[in-house]
Amino acid sequence: MNQADVIIIGGGLAGMCCALSLQRAGLSAQVFEACDAPGGRVRTDRVDGFLLDRGFQVFLTAYPEARAVLDLPALDLRTFEPGSRVFFGSSWHTLMDPWRRPGSLLDGALAKVGSISDKVRVGTLRAEVQKLPVAGLFAPERPERTIEQLLRDRGFGQSMIDRFFRPFMGGIMLDSSLKSSSRMMEFVFKMFSEGDAAVPSGGMGRISDQLASRLAPGTLWLNAKVERAAPGEVDIANVGTMRARAVVVAAPGSSAEALLGAQSGSARWRRPWRGVTNVCMAIDGPPPQPGRDAVLLLDGENTGPITNLAFMSSVSPLYAPAGKSLASLSVLGVDHRSDTELLSACRSQLSRWFPSEDTARWGLLRIQRIASALPDQSPPWYTRAEWPVRLATGPTRLAERLYRAGDDVDTASIDGAMRSGRRAAEAIMADLGVALPQRGERP
């Protein structure tokens, strides 16, 4: 292992984007990843011919950083229908985005999910967030409150909040209490109104694969767990101490805390994280209706356990072998029931959702309990859009340089993770006196 300019701990999106930006500026990097593959939270596994993402995730095509970094055509993105179907009162209610699907204007207006005034309020919110640049959404003069408070301040009715926003935003922030930050909701709302929700045809992991494929040979080291990070050096399990001009901790807050101890310096990383339980089921034949068009299905009754359900094979057929379908169910929080109990609770909800369907024919592929899926984003969390990436800014001896990247120093999203990686790289370049490469060209 040759010595590199920069050591990066963590081969998730943040770590890989950091390495790519450094690479582009002519600096060498070594990324040490504890797991057997890169991607962190964005990985896809093949199980019995099905593609199983590690939890239900979508890529929003309007993400500005991701658009600049990724080769989107190569991802062969498959899009969801803009809107959702909400189950309550024994039936499904369609709420399409009338701005993106003008033909659905009347259906949407008549759908019993909220009042006509609520739909007008959605339009106003949409227009406002579209008018502002992303940085403007996080401007200090705009208040940060809980999502619930924002919705109440804007006059949304209880039915619209409970039937649509609670399962929809709750599923995105992994928090059905709607106590997460209004700023992230506005960011997400802007992204949804300016682009599509999509997945690469071959699974979300293709995003990570694409980034990894661009790393120079010798950059990425797998099964390499870093046990300690200090200014200019790290201890790697079974390898020993490695040194570099700068060290970037691109592992999530809790790991960063363990690696850095007292040097971590920020109470921000001691926040608990939010978890989710993902249940993937295989169906022989097509999915029941509604589910054949690529629409997200929501629990408008908030009785659970399933908050949302996506038939992934309706979005991209590659998610399931020919003649079969894949259902991805999200249960908020880490569900501690046994697999049998959880499955039985899910099946009884599915029987209410699809009464003419024999859900016993749905076979279990995998239950994944993801404890640290997203940081808890309750306010104050986005008091600024970009949290500092420099950990040691003191007297600038080169060996003192320690940096952070990860979705907890930016928006908790694919886009934020990627951006934090670039920001950490740019801080290193500035501190080492290396010219920033021109923007515009992909790293």
Ligand X SMILES: Cc1cc2nc3c(=O)[nH]c(=O)nc-3n(C[C@H](O)[C@H](O)[C@H](O)COP(=O)(O)OP(=O)(O)OC[C@H]3O[C@@H](n4cnc5c(N)ncnc54)[C@H](O)[C@@H]3O)c2cc1C
* Chain residues in the site for ligand X (CB under 6 A): 9-15, 32-35, 40-42, 55, 57-58, 225-226, 250-252, 255, 259, 276, 370, 373-374, 406-407, 412-414, 417
Show the tokens assigned to 168.
């929809």
Residues 6+ apart with CB under 8 A from 437: 21, 24, 25, 443
Q: What are the start-end ranges of the E strands in 285-438?
A: 296-299, 308-311, 324-332, 363-375, 402-404
| Residue 206 exposed, middle or buried by CB count within 10 Å (0-12, 13-18, 19+) | buried
Residue 352: C-alpha distances to residues 19, 92, 308 (Å): 49, 11, 14
| Least gap, CB of 269 to ligand X (angstroms) | 12
| Least gap, CB of 258 to ligand X (angstroms) | 7
CA distance 348 to 299: 13
Which of 1, 35, 7 lies closest to 19, judged by CA? 7
Q: Do residues 88 and 301 lie in contact, with contact meaning Cβ atoms separated by under 8 Å?
A: yes
Sign of CA dihedral 14, 20, 24, 26: positive
Residue 278 vs 325, nearer CB to ligand X: 278
Residue 8 vs 111, nearer CB to ligand X: 8
| Least gap, CB of 40 to ligand X (angstroms) | 2
Residue 279 vs 374, nearer CB to ligand X: 374
CA distance 56 to 42: 10
DSSP state of 159: H
| Least gap, CB of 86 to ligand X (angstroms) | 19
| Least gap, CB of 13 to ligand X (angstroms) | 4
SS3 label, residue 92: strand
Terminal CA-CA length for the chain: 24
Sign of CA dihedral 283, 289, 290, 292: positive
Residue 193 vs 413, nearer CB to ligand X: 413
Which of 299, 288, 312, 325 lies closest to 80, judged by CA? 312
Residue 99 vs 273, nearer CB to ligand X: 273
Residue 18: C-alpha distances to residues 8, 196, 212, 256, 399 (Å): 8, 26, 12, 16, 19
| Least gap, CB of 270 to ligand X (angstroms) | 16
| Least gap, CB of 9 to ligand X (angstroms) | 5
| Strand-strand pairing, 402-404 and 308-311 | unpaired
Show the tokens assigned to 10.
């963590």
Residue 119 vs 419, nearer CB to ligand X: 419
> DSSP assignment of 297-310, as one string?
EEETT---S-SEEE
Residue 125 vs 373, nearer CB to ligand X: 373
Residue 42 vs 283, nearer CB to ligand X: 42
| Least gap, CB of 125 to ligand X (angstroms) | 20
Residues β-bridged to residue 274: 374
Residue 306 vs 374, nearer CB to ligand X: 374
| Least gap, CB of 296 to ligand X (angstroms) | 11
Residue 104 vs 277, nearer CB to ligand X: 277
| Least gap, CB of 87 to ligand X (angstroms) | 21
